[in-house]
Structure 1
């Protein structure tokens, strides 16, 4: 009979039906998160039509939820290391869903903008804690694979929104009036985006808190009970029958004196910026920011860029400038075929994720990131001279999808190099900077795309190249 390390216990338990349910639940949270944050970009043309938005206002709308996420990411990371992964995710999902539904009912743009900001503010508790949660129930060797499979859900979410938009697009010509309130199809679309969240909340009630978190806060007995139930579900026998009578976790912090909130937040954050964590934390954060800057930045504006592109034999920047000065295209024209391009983008994202899962069987995590980043750089650079409609679409889709699909890979690296008591805060802080990069990317596209189009695209290419170079310095996991 022994007291075993929690990672050794997870290796002994293996991956079974209980973890599969956890992956499914976390996947639903990913779909909800993607549809709430990125889904606005896919119906941006219809929103701009209803509210008569300028590019600057559309830029504000695209970054509103990200701004909310940025403001509360660090705090939610602090809370998840103090209160628990599951608890914070559950509260966050419920509050974000309420805020999202309220935003759909708003009759004016700035009220709608405010509630989109509030949705981002409230959803931060689930935004990356789902990755932390599932990684802490998975043995180390499988973490990259499981996190990547869970993040297939982001791709399904990216497909789901344009599919629904495509079938609802005929309703955009039909206006239902309730007094001064107007219901358009994009509002129904956004309501349907919330449906995965309802199921995720229901399933989350029956899931346990992670044993690693419980050990980090001194609840050893509850941690053992959690792992014991997991073992019974997966193997049909308890831990005692395997000779394990207790669990412990290495690298836990020593007990400290009680501090007020600000002092506690400061002392819990400082270790991330000291050895031995500083180098790996900064490299992972910069790479993650690059993935968000290019992958999510392009995706947010993808439908708007496609709406402004013609079928002429020009490079993409000449198309955008030509359409901008042409009076032949109405801002409020509804071409259902544009949503097909959104579906293509989502399918490409899913394909890249599936390929990552296959490559992880034979290839190291960092090598896959290098490969994807180099191909994305070539695709982005090709937009300087490609002229035909189809090659331009393929290059844009791959430029965005290859880097966006790499986000789970760098997230799993970050989970591996940071100890449990700092993991939630590290992940949330890293994602906070990454989301700030999306805000910057959206502002650049919104303000520079027409007057400085080639410069704008090449800024994104440079970021992709920097990411490729930094992958050489990633730790091997």
Structure 2
């Protein structure tokens, strides 16, 4: 009986894995399109749907609440019914509700549809990385998951470009118009439609089948993988594999109601031997989310202030002198919007419904830098371990945060801002991949989902912290983030080394 990771080592990263990789890239592009695209859609549809601050608050509160409430349940379902099945079901529902949202004639029906999109987007979000990693041998997982992350940068570049280019205003019936924001939603669906057509013909994870004692199905998937990778004449039997297994299999199923079962099946994450690693990664993700997304929004706002003030002083001095007059703290609506969709255009002082490249150029710059950082990560993974790269990125961000206290040149300020908020995005993906490797198959979906909830809480916490300290205690704001980033790096160093994971942890 062979260990499944040994079988993957024999099969390599072949045709089967490349098809699954292409599918997951499209899924990630679609997820990013939905999250980034909504901020642009809201800006473009504000006039037609009459979205004022009050309605904006309702819309973003609904989306935020949907993601928080659904994440843990989706993680549990991924472990119960399988990664592929959950992605197919929730992905199809996400496509359908997003399509309906593009057709809604008024704000309240649009609100309901976007709430449902927020619920269903959590399915692919918590399952996609796990699904791909469970078809990939241990040594390649960090590299492959990082390659998928390229799609985040690509989406962050082309979605704002499309939003600035699309200009449609086609009257349909009475006051109902097919406008640019409706077309933008439809264009954002295209990668998702392609991905889910591909996924329909792909198999379920054999590691999931082993975790639910479906050994025959696991062998069938591995046999299919073998023939695709090695040729039609090669079988598992010819490679000396007659059966497969993996350690740390699922225990007996708990027969309780849905809420109780969800609690009891998640309880092992809070016990030995998993609690320590789960806590360390979740605490690291809490900080990394807060810096990369929560702080990222405010950096764009502060940069907007700097460009308005013709003075050469440090950021904190400019905030002390001009912050009250030149920049306003976010209203409830824009703050919630920024918590969920951090890569926004700056909030307009007046209602603006026509997007131009001037409105979205900061988001495009951000996307270019993110793409470059993920490409750099790929090269670093060839010679450096994940944990080391994460620590390097976090210390780079901490140094940039420290330099915020001193830099005065506009260009240097932009560079320091990007060095502060972009490296944690890359380290975030690597930290999540560590969690996937540290947690057994039957708990993996729930662990990733709970970790993402910690991350979203980090965004909210950092946004509130900045809102209450940036003007009066500016130095406390940035240096507080520096200390938090350093603490996150220390937590990552406390995780097991990858050599120990390879020796003791089988996935």
Superposed pair shares fold, TM > 0.5: yes
Q: Are residue 389 (structure 1) and residue 387 (structure 2) matched? A: no
Partner of residue 275 from structure 2, selected from 278, 283, 286? 278
1:92 aligned residue: 90
- Return the alpha-carbon distance in structure 2 between the equivalents of residues 37 and 27 of structure 1: 16
Residue 147 of structure 2: aligned partner:
149
2: CA distance, partners of 1:61 / 1:379: 34
Equivalent pair of 2:254/2:265 in contact (CA under 8 Å): no
Give secondary structure in 2 for the equivalent of 1:294.
Answer: helix
SS of 1:253's equivalent? coil
Q: Alpha carbons of 1:185 and 1:299: their partners in 2 closer, same or farther (altered >3 Å)?
A: farther
- 2:251 is aligned to 254
CA deviation after TM superposition for structure 1 residue 153, in Å: 1.4
| Cα displacement (A) at 1:92 | 0.9
Q: State the distance in 2 between where 1:280 and 1:213 align.
A: 22
Stretch moving more, 376-385 or 223-232? 376-385
Is the contact between residue 62 and residue 442 of structure 1 (CA under 8 Å) also seen in structure 2? no
Are the equivalent residues in 1 in contact too, given 2:165–2:356 (CA < 8 A)? Answer: no
Distance 1:239 1:192, change over 3 A: same
1:294 aligned residue: 291
**Distance change >3 Å, CA 120–CA 308, structure 1 → 2:** farther
Structure 1 residue 444 displacement after superposition: 5.5
Describe the superposition over 1:422-477 as per-residue Cα deviations: whole angstroms up to 9, x where unpaired: 11111111112212323444555678767876665555444333322322212211
**Is 1:45–1:304's contact at 8 Å kept on the other side of the alignment?**
no
- 5+ long unaligned stretches in structure 2: 329-347, 499-507
Q: CA deviation at 1:28?
A: 1.0
Match of 2:201 among 206, 212, 220: 206
Counterpart-to-counterpart distance in 2, 1:453 and 1:99: 42
Contact 2:71 2:126 in 1 (8 A): no
- Of the structure 1 ranges 284-293 and 110-119, higher mean CA displacement relative to structure 2 is found in 110-119
Paired residues of 1:128 and 1:427 also in contact (CA < 8 A): yes
Q: CA deviation at 1:260?
A: 3.6
The 1:97–1:141 alpha-carbon spacing in structure 2 relative to 1, beyond 3 Å, is: same
Contact 2:129 2:145 in 1 (8 A): yes
* Number of the residue aligned with 1:376: 397
Which of 489, 500, 504 lines up with 1:468 in the alignment?
Answer: 489
Tell me what 2:341 maps to.
Answer: none
3-state SS of 1:405 partner: helix
Cα 1:276–1:419 change in 2 (3 A) is same
Aligned positions of 1:120-199 closer than 5 A = 120-168=118-166, 171=167, 178-181=173-176, 184-199=179-194
**Residues 474, 422 of structure 1: alpha-carbon distance in 2 compared, 3 angstrom cutoff:** same
CA change 1:105–1:377 in 2 (3 A) is: farther
Q: Is the 8 Å Cα contact of residues 288 and 424 (structure 2) preserved in structure 1? A: yes
**3-state SS, counterpart of residue 245 of structure 1:** coil
Residue 411 of structure 1 corresponds to which residue in structure 2? 432
Aligned length: 468
Q: Secondary structure at the match of 2:307?
A: coil
Tell me which moved more, 397-406 or 3-12. Answer: 397-406
Aligned twin of 2:263: 266
- 1:323 paired residue among 316, 326, 339: 326
Paired position in structure 1 for 2:69: 71
**Matched residue of 2:310: which SS?**
coil
1:362 corresponds in structure 2 to: 383
> What 5-or-longer segments of structure 1 have no aligned partner?
none
455-464 or 132-141: which moved more? Answer: 455-464
SS in 1 for 2:309: coil
TM-score normalised per structure 2: 0.83
The superposition leaves residues 82-125 of structure 1 with CA deviations (integer Å, 9 ceiling, x where unpaired) of 10100000111111122222333445555444432321111111
Q: Which moved more, 1:370-379 or 1:276-285?
A: 370-379
TM-score of the superposed pair, with normalisation by structure 1: 0.88
